[in-house]
């Protein structure tokens, strides 16, 4: 599961942490998001000695760059959320939905069912 989301510093924002907890135990999480600071502290198992390197950036603007890079590479059906960036106007959102299959995220339980089909 590739997770590039951010729970942020507000304790009530815990979507990605809860999502990581609810994934099946045989799931490997690859991350580029700052939520990793929360779920790296969880007991999610061991991946058998594979080295882990942390290369950390603290800028939320990186999410826009990651999205643009994925779209340029032709990746479709990306899910964004829990809230959309303020820079996305309704017209831009419609273009992303119609041309790239961009979708939202909902609750942890619903999304795990949708994503692990």
Sequence-distant (6+) residues with CB within 8 A of 32 are 2, 3, 4, 62, 66
Give the pLDDT score at 39. 75
Give the pLDDT score at 53. 42
The CATH code of the domain that includes 74 is 3.40.50.2030
Question: Taking the model in full, what pTM does it have?
Answer: 0.57
pLDDT band at 47 (very low <50, low <70, confident <90, very high): low
Euclidean distance between CA atoms 103 and 78, whole angstroms: 6
Q: Which of 10-14, 82-86, 109-113 has the highest mean pLDDT?
A: 109-113
Please give the residue that has the higher pLDDT: either 54 or 21: 21
Give the pLDDT score at 55. 40
List pLDDT tens digits, range 48-99: 666 554 443 334 566 777 778 888 888 888 888 777 777 778 898 899 999 9
Range of the domain at 109: 2-115
Total structural domains within the chain: 1
Q: Which of 19-28, 30-39, 78-87 has the highest mean pLDDT?
A: 19-28
3-state secondary structure (DSSP) of residue 94: helix
């Amino acid at each position: 599961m590739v997770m590039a989301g951010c729970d942020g510093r507000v304790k009530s924002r815990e979507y990605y942490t809860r999502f990581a907890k609810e994934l099946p135990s045989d799931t490997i999480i690859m991350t580029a998001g700052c939520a990793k600071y929360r779920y790296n502290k969880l007991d999610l198992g061991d991946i058998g000695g594979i080295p882990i390197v942390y290369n950390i950036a603290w800028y939320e603007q990186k999410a826009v760059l990651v999205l643009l890079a994925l779209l340029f590479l032709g990746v479709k059906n990306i899910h964004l959320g829990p809230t959309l960036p303020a820079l996305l106007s309704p017209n831009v959102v419609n273009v992303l939905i119609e041309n790239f299959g961009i979708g939202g995220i909902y609750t942890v339980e619903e999304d795990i069912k949708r994503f692990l089909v």
